[in-house]
Amino acid sequence: MADGIEKARMKIQPVFVICVASVLSMAIGNSANAQNRTTIVLRDLSVLSDSGIESFNDNRVLLTDGTSLTWDAILRADVPDESRAEFDRRISQIGLPMFRIKSRLESGDWWSIASIAEPMYSLVKPGGDSAGFQFDAETRYLISLAAMYGRIQSGNREAAVEPFLLAASLQPQIGDDIVPEYAFTQREINSLISSKLLPVWFDQENAGLAVDDLSEHIGPGGFPAIGGVLVYRASLATAAGRLNVVREDIEQLRQQGSHPDWVKVLEARLLFSQDRIDEGLQLLRGKDTFDPACRAVALYLEGMHPSPTASSSDASLVSLLTIPAIFGETFEEISSAALYGAAERSGKEGNVNERRILTNELLRRYPNTYHGRLAAANEK
């Protein structure tokens, strides 16, 4: 009897030890999981508490459940003391400004986006000081897009060229569904010319600054000296009076066999600057076959430079008024410039009523463009 009890006790002991070990293991595991969990408060004030933080970099916070969050989504989080300083630095220096940029891209609040985008753009622009951050293509794209629209809205179209070129070069890497309402068309990507920034400029000082900035960033580590990059620089150089730069860029475009219609427009502009009006107009005679953006600029140049040998300026006035009639919704800036030019022409010819009608149309349709603001200032 005693022997039987002893044998049973020997069988039970290992089982008991295994059970205790399993319970202890589960308790330790649950305790470790609990320690790994982090309370993360998002900017919409929802709380994540079922997952921990695996790691983080300058673009994302990787969670233990395999998901990730961008910094703009996070308001605060409980992190270990050794990580807190770097974590909080990214929330303040990346998360908050990116949250504001995304919010304003979503709402189209261009008036306030410039002041937010500019400090961030200095971190991602070619030759800029990254402050040690290594941003991915999506972050750089959003920052560049915001800088582009902010500069346009603030009236400095010329300075918007560089962030456009950066954003356009990044979009193919990330797709066009990040902010689809602002995605560039395939035509814009291929040509590197934006419908929002047609290569015709009205502020000589800003054009000069933009030429210098763009020239500094063409080459290794920056923008390639091709196509739309050269068209933009040559057009800015024309407005700034840097005619040697214009000639050099036209020659490069010719050698590349790139943008032939834009080459004609650039050459015509060069001739107009030398008062060789009829020669320049001759280059634009085939404008109806040009790409729409190029055709709009050709019409504007034709309208602003009436032939000195023509019996009247009616043909050039028609060219100007054709732009808002055909491209009024697509190319707002040059449409407003055309209306302004037509109004000024009418005023000089003594057609006061016609000038008033054209000015009112300009102020009604394009109040926030360069020439819309100029017309408003003239009317005061």
pLDDT band at residue 36 using 50, 70 and 90 as cut-offs = low
Cα–Cα distance for residue pair 216/199, rounded to 1 Å: 19
Write out pLDDT tens, residues 72-89. Answer: 999 998 888 888 899 999
Of 13-17, 97-101, 113-117, 370-374, least confident by mean pLDDT is 13-17
Q: DSSP assignment of 136-202, as one string?
A: -HHHHHHHHHHHHHHHHHTT-TGGGHHHHHHHHHHHHHH-S-SSGGGPPPHHHHHHT--TTS-S---
The average confidence (pLDDT) of the chain is: 88
Write out pLDDT tens, residues 274-293. Answer: 999 999 999 999 999 999 99
Place of tokens 């929330």: 91
pLDDT band at residue 23 using 50, 70 and 90 as cut-offs = very low
- Per-residue pLDDT at 35 exceeds 50: no
pLDDT for 86 equals 92
- Per-residue pLDDT at 18 exceeds 60: no
**What is the dihedral sign for C-alpha 266, 267, 272, 274?**
positive
Place of tokens 């189209």: 108
Amino acid letter, 140: R
Q: Which of the 8 DSSP states describes residue 361? A: H
The mean per-residue pLDDT over the stretch 63-69 comes to: 90
pLDDT for 263 equals 97
Cα–Cα distance for residue pair 334/332, rounded to 1 Å: 6
What global pTM score does this model have? 0.85
- Per-residue pLDDT at 10 exceeds 60: no
Of 37-51, 195-209, 359-373, least confident by mean pLDDT is 37-51
Q: Which of 204, 208, 206, 186 is nearest to 195 (CA)?
A: 186
Q: Kindly state the percentage of the chain with pLDDT values over 70.
A: 90
pLDDT band at residue 115 using 50, 70 and 90 as cut-offs = confident
